[in-house]
Amino acid sequence: MKLFNGMTVENNELAISGVTVSELRRKYGTPLYVYDENMLENQCDTFISNFKSEKFKTEVLYASKAFSCLEVLRMANRAGLGVDVVSLGEIHTAYKAGYDMSKAYFHGNNKTREELKYAIEVGLGTIVIDNDYEYEMINDLAKESKKTVDVLLRINTGIDAHTHEYIKTAKDDSKFGYSVYDETIFDLIADINGQSNLNFLGFHSHIGSQIFEKSSFYEAAKVVMEFSRRVEEELRLTIKVLNLGGGFGVYYTDEDKPFELGEFLQEYIKVIETESENFGLELEKVVIEPGRSLTCNAGSTLYTVGGVKKTFAGREYIFVDGGMADNPRYALYKAKYEAALANKINADENTVYTVAGKCCESGDMLVMDTKLPKAEQGDLLIVPSTGAYNYSMSSNYNRLPKLPVVFVKDGTSRLVIKGETLEDLIRQDI
User: Minimal distance in Å, beta carbon 188 to ligand LLP?
Assistant: 19
CB 74 within 8 A of CB 417: no
User: Pick from 21, 32, 63, 339: which binds ligand LLP (CB under 6 A)?
Assistant: 63
User: Minimal distance in Å, beta carbon 413 to ligand LLP?
Assistant: 26
Which residues 223-262 are close enough to bind ligand LLP by CB under 6 A? 245-248
Residue 334: how many other CB atoms lie within 10 Å = 10
User: Minimal distance in Å, beta carbon 316 to ligand LLP?
Assistant: 28
User: Which letter, b or e, does each residue of 22-37 get, where b requires 16 or more Cβ atoms within 10 Å of its Cβ?
Assistant: ebbbeebebbbbbbbb
User: Minimal distance in Å, beta carbon 247 to ligand LLP?
Assistant: 4
CB 387 within 8 A of CB 62: no
Residue 11: how many other CB atoms lie within 10 Å = 10
User: Minimal distance in Å, beta carbon 118 to ligand LLP?
Assistant: 19
Look at residues 333, 378, 371, 322 and name the one whose alpha carbon lies nearest to residue 349: 371
DSSP assignment string, 132-153: HHHHHHHHHHHHHHT--EEEEE
Q: For strand 126-129 and strand 149-156, is the pairing parallel, antiparallel, or unpaired?
A: parallel
CB 380 within 8 A of CB 296: no
Q: Is 292 within any annotated ligand binding site? A: yes
Q: Is 329 within any annotated ligand binding site? A: yes
Q: Is 289 within any annotated ligand binding site? A: yes
Q: Which stretch binds ligand LLP (CB under 6 A): 60-68, 145-153, 155-163, 252-260?
A: 60-68
User: How many residues bind ligand LLP, per CB under 6 A?
Assistant: 19
Helices (H), 29-181: 37-50, 70-78, 88-96, 113-121, 132-145
- In the bound state with ligand LLP, the residue whose beta carbon lies nearer, of 150 and 379, is 150
Length of the chain: 430
Q: Is there a catalytic annotation at residue 360?
A: yes
- In the bound state with ligand LLP, the residue whose beta carbon lies nearer, of 221 and 305, is 221
- In the bound state with ligand LLP, the residue whose beta carbon lies nearer, of 65 and 222, is 65
Element (H, E) at 292: helix 292-295
Which residues 195-224 are close enough to bind ligand LLP by CB under 6 A? 206, 209-210
Q: Is 251 within any annotated ligand binding site? A: no
User: Minimal distance in Å, beta carbon 344 to ligand LLP?
Assistant: 29
- In the bound state with ligand LLP, the residue whose beta carbon lies nearer, of 41 and 316, is 41
Residue type, 233: E
Q: How far apart are CA 106 and CA 371, in angstroms?
A: 43
Residues 6+ away with beta carbon under 8 Å from 11: none
- Is residue 292 a contact point for ligand LLP (CB under 6 A)? yes
Find the catalytic residue in 44, 296, 359, 360.
360
CB 228 within 8 A of CB 279: yes
For the window 102-141, what string marks contact with ligand LLP as x by the rule CB under 6 A?
-----x----------------------------------
**Helix or strand or coil: residue 349?**
coil
CB 38 within 8 A of CB 6: yes
- In the bound state with ligand LLP, the residue whose beta carbon lies nearer, of 19 and 66, is 66
Q: Is 247 within any annotated ligand binding site? A: yes
Q: How far apart are CA 270 and CA 186, in angstroms?
A: 29
User: Pick from 38, 293, 386, 413: which binds ligand LLP (CB under 6 A)?
Assistant: 293
For the window 382-401, what string marks contact with ligand LLP as x by the rule CB under 6 A?
-------x------------
- In the bound state with ligand LLP, the residue whose beta carbon lies nearer, of 120 and 296, is 296
Q: Is 399 within any annotated ligand binding site? A: no
Per the annotation, binding residues for pyridoxal 5'-phosphate are: 247, 289-292, 389
Please identify every residue annotated as catalytic: 360
Which residues here bind ligand LLP, judged by CB under 6 A? 63, 65-66, 84, 107, 206, 209-210, 245-248, 289-293, 329, 389
